[in-house]
Amino acid sequence: MEPLSEINFKLVEHKKESNNTKETTRIEVFSDGVFAIAITLLVLELIQTLHSQTSDGLLKIFSDHWQSFLAFSIGFITILVCWINHHVAFEYIKKVDTNLMWINGLLLFVVTLTPFPTAVLAGYLQKESGTALAIFGFNYILISVAADSICTYAYNHHLIEEEHRKYYYSYKKIYRYAIFYTVIVFFICFVSVVIPVFLYIILFAAFAAPKKSASTLNKIRLARKKDNLKH
């Protein structure tokens, strides 16, 4: 029979683990709700196209508002990719503190802003395509900064289990690179429209599968270390 002190110690440790899991779960559930609301706001903006003041038929209205459908698709993919990356980031985070909650709140704030630049893109894609795309692209900069802040804080404050720290280092690095990438593309928007669109497609592809991107970066880092050791 186990000593009473040892049983109490195990109960305390189990309670700590349960609290940590519960805190992480609550953040994820709350965040999922905010992501859902942001997508709902996109849909509401799209529904406004049906309230046209003209007597044109549906097909005519749809063809005249193709920008709205395009912007909705881009906005939806943006929020979906953010949600996927948020899920992966918190998959490895086992502990939570107040600062992480605030940083996570920053990301959610930026996500809820996404419908606004999406509406700008829909309304001014033909009139001021470069400026509209730049405003939408600036939102990507904010998302990258917020995502990087979450991963960097979790890594630096050891909110991740030791066995996953090496991998998570590569994972947080892709967000640091994303900041510089989105800043560069932002300025290109004022010069060209085609090039930024192509570069944003690459960005979507890279972050649509964040684990694969992080694993690739980790392999490159390990290969470089081996080369340095050989030399």
Q: What pTM was computed for the model?
A: 0.79
Mind listing the pLDDT tens digit for each residue in 8-66? 444 444 444 444 455 678 899 999 999 999 988 888 776 766 665 566 666 766 666 67
For the stretch 125-181, pLDDT in tens is 777 888 888 999 999 999 999 999 999 999 999 888 888 888 888 888 889 999 999
215 Cβ contact partners less than 8 Å away, ≥ 6 residues apart: 167, 170
Total domain count, the chain? 1
Q: What range defines the domain where residue 169 resides?
A: 4-50+58-230
Secondary structure element (H or E) that encloses residue 182, with its range: helix 165-188
pLDDT digits (tens, 9 = 90+) for 195-222: 988 999 899 888 988 888 877 877 777 7
- In sequence order, the 6+-apart residues with CB closer than 8 A to the CB of 137 are 182, 185, 186, 189, 196, 200
DSSP string, 69-102: HHHHHHHHHHHHHHHHHHHHHHHSB----HHHHH
